[in-house]
Amino acid sequence: MSEEIKKEERSLNFLEEIIEEDLKTGKYQSIVTRFPPEPNGYLHIGHASSICLNFGLTQKFPGYTNLRFDDTNPVTEETEYVESIKEDVRWLGFEWKNERFASDYFDNLYAFALKLINNGLAYVDDSTAEEMAVLKGTPTEPGKDSIYRTRSIEENKDLFTKMKNGEFPDGSRTLRAKIDMQHINMLMRDPILYRIKHAHHHRTGDKWCIYPMYDFAHGQSDSIEEVTHSICTMEFVPHRELYDWLIKNLEIYPSHQYEFARRNINYTVTSKRKLLQLVTEKHVTGWDDPRMPTISGLRRRGYTPKSIRDFCDRIGVAKRDNMVDVGLLEFCLREDLNKIALRRMVVFDPIKVIITNYESDGEVLHSENNSEDEKGGIRDISFSKEIYIESNDFMEVAPKKYFRLAPGQMVRLKSAYIIKCDEVIKDADGNITELHCSYIPESKSGSDTSEIKVKGTLHWVNAADAVEIEVREYDRLFQVEDPTDEEGDFKDYINPDSLKVVKGFAEPALKEAKLDDRFQFIRKGYYCLDKESVDDKLVFNRTVTLKDGWMKDQKKN
RNA sequence: UGACCCAUAGUGUAAUGGCAACACUACUGAUUUUGAUUCAGUCAUUUAUGGUUCGAAUCCAUAUGGGUCAACCA
């Protein structure tokens, strides 16, 4: 209830305001949005923002959202990407009303082109790409008309038909809109509508050898689907004039384009071209490498859909350039994981502890799966005379306010007993080999009558049945906030320590881990099973560390 | 050297002519069988200058700064 109120009270973003106004004035009874990926790469965190926006709008207001693949360039697009995109959108928690492809509309688009030709608003140009570039002018100089601009309607029709019929080689001719070569907006200087590409299309096969350009497909597809609010990023602002020109001259359903600023996140890149480079040049293991900002990478890393949706919600939408701190993404992640992750104990860099006064063969203790979740239940953990603790949880010479184990100092073993360090055992070279401790029998977790107060609680594992696991510790992929803004190649700034593979000794309960489980290795971080994990070699990914105030203090001093 | 877009704490978003708000980060402190979580507190004269107005982050003008536009990519 209180959450609902909070939602209602939250102010609208500029797109929601536009929509609310459109609904209020009766311009629309309901709205239609679309998420329009090109199937030439995997979706990344930037797309998640667009997905949440487009689908979120039609959850908030009456209407629906289509998934439409912008597949007008057969040489770069593949079915593999279509499938991954669908999987990612679903995983994020959204369902589209209609699944469409721009290629579904190739016949309509061809007819639209004919209509423009018939109205004297499009012509076939025989210029080469180089000639066209010269005639196009520059942002500060007007362009010049092509000599083919004045062809007759009949000739244009004939030539365009022959283009379609495959009578010309690639690149030899284009169909262009006849607008204004002097136009201040470069996109209005007779933009190319169709180009010849004798290429196999992932859906239409070899039916076509001419393919429409983005500007002659996107807005038209919007219009065919009666999309009311076509939302795209700011770099398309100059395209809007052409978008509107085509809709007006084609006399088709008037969809409208609105632009927002794409979200940038520091310490990563979100450009398909750059991500593709990271994959093909093997800087990462693949599109779903847990260091990648792709949806599939984040998924494998252990991010939850909820945390990503929450992140997109929190960063909002506006029109100004931005660089969002990846720390916010991690905050959203931790917030969700804290509530759902199963607590487990794993020791990474073990040091043996012998509990000298523990006489029993061992016992089974109990620990809550998640102290944040009353319904999370408890699990068994075995305890005995020999255990491992983290070697950096012990210091022979402890500084002030060190709450961990040190000679003569007491700590609690999580869900077990309070122990005191009596003796430090070393080898001939002076390296610590084990610690001899004594335990307080009355301090057993849950039935503590010792009245001893300790400041520190350590995680530990039972030496006898600890399971060795592999842990992949991931860190940010880049060393600088904005790799594309630095001198030289962005790849020069890749963090060489973005992956560290370490060993861990886990409590046996982790053998039951499933791919969808989320764990918190107590006092360490959040982890999940990796898809490469097998029964006799468990592999975990570190999703994100726990916040570490102690470490921060240490670094300051 | 044109056109267009943008400018509010370190970061991201609010305030729609009337007390600059929320979240993250950072810093203090409390609680804690995770140095986590949780809780409490601290951190801005809204890019600049001028104008309109009883009153401006908001409207106007100019400047400054950042971004976009010259693919047969999307």
Residue A115 has pLDDT above 80, yes or no: yes
Neighbours of A452 (CB within 10 A): 13
pLDDT over 80 at A557, yes or no: no
* Residue pLDDT, tens place only, A62-91: 999 999 999 999 999 899 999 999 999 999
Q: How far apart are CA A337 and CA A459, in angstroms?
A: 19
pLDDT surpasses 70 at A1: no
C1' of B49 to CA of A318 (Å) = 27
Nearest nucleotide over every DNA/RNA strand to the A448 CA, judged by C1': B33
Place of tokens 């579904």: A104
DSSP letter string, A418-458 = EEEEEEEEE-TTS-EEEEEEEE-GGG-TTS--S----S-EE
> What mean pLDDT is predicted for residues A486-507?
96
Residue nearest to nucleotide B7 (CA to C1'): A320
Q: Which protein residue lies nearest to nucleotide B10, measured between its Cα and the C1' atom?
A: A325
What are the tens digits of pLDDT across the range A126-150? Answer: 999 999 999 999 999 999 999 999 9
User: Which residues pair with residue A174 across a beta bridge?
Assistant: A125, A195
Query: Smallest CA–C1' separation from A14: which nucleotide?
Result: B16
pLDDT: which is higher, A224 or A7? A224
pLDDT of residue A527: 98
Helix (H, G, I), strand (E, B) or coil at A320: coil
pLDDT of residue A554: 82
What is the complex's ipTM, to 2 decimals? Answer: 0.96
Is pLDDT of A2 > 60?
no
Burial class (CB in 10 A: 0-12, 13-18, 19+), A357: middle
pLDDT > 90 fraction of chain A, expressed in percent and rounded: 94
Give whole-number Cα distances, A370 to A14, A174, A348, A380, A520, in Å: 40, 64, 21, 13, 9
DSSP-based helix, strand, coil % in chain A, nearest 5: 35, 25, 40
DSSP A275-294: HHHHHHTTSSSSTT-TTS-B
Q: Which nucleotides of B are covered by protein (CB under 7 A)?
A: 1-8, 10-16, 23-27, 33-38, 66-74
Name the protein residue, with chain letter, whose CA is nearest the C1' of B66.
A321
Q: How far is the CA of A184 from the C1' of B60 (A)?
A: 26
What average pLDDT does the structure give for chain A?
A: 96
pTM over 0.80: yes
The pLDDT assigned to A322 comes to 96
Q: Are strands A99-101 and A525-529 parallel, antiparallel or unpaired?
A: unpaired
Beta strands A519-521; A432-439: pairing state: unpaired
Cα-only R_g, chain A:
31
Q: How far is the CA of A353 from the C1' of B16 (A)?
A: 66
Rama region for A316: left / alpha / beta (φ>0; ψ in -120 to 50; rest): left
In chain A, % of residues over pLDDT 70: 98
Rounded, the Å distance between the CA of A317 and C1' of B12 is 9
Q: Which residues pair with A494 in a beta bridge?
A: A478
> CB–CB of A20/A12 below 8 Å?
yes
- The two tokens of residue A368 are 């809550």
**What domains can be seen in chain A, in order of their start residue?**
3-260 (3.40.50.620), 272-342+469-556 (2.40.240.10), 350-459 (2.40.240.10)
- The angle formed by the CA atoms of residues A368, A373 and A374, to the nearest 5 degrees, is 75
Q: What pLDDT is stored for residue A8 in this prediction?
A: 45
Give the confidence band of A4 by pLDDT, cuts at 50, 70, 90. Answer: very low
Q: What angle do CA A198, A199, A203 make, to 5 degrees?
A: 130
Nucleotide nearest to A330 (CA to C1'): B24
| pLDDT band per the 50, 70, 90 thresholds, residue A239 | very high
At A323 the pLDDT is 97
Asked if residue A373 lies in contact with residue A348, where contact means CB atoms within 8 angstroms, the answer is no
Question: Which residues of A participate in catalysis according to the annotation?
Answer: 38, 262, 272
Question: Which of A514, A515, A38, A88 minimizes the C-alpha distance to A297?
Answer: A88
Under DSSP, the state recorded for A358 is -
In the predicted structure, residue A259 carries a pLDDT above the cut 80? yes
* Interatomic CA–C1' length for residue A456 and nucleotide B31, angstroms: 14
pLDDT, one tens digit per residue, over A458-476 is 999 999 999 999 999 999 9
**Would you place residue A3 in the very low, low, confident or very high pLDDT band (cuts 50, 70, 90)?**
very low
Name the residue with tokens 């423009």: A116
* CA of residue A11 to C1' of nucleotide B19, angstroms: 19
For the CA of A547 and the C1' of B26, the distance in angstroms is 14
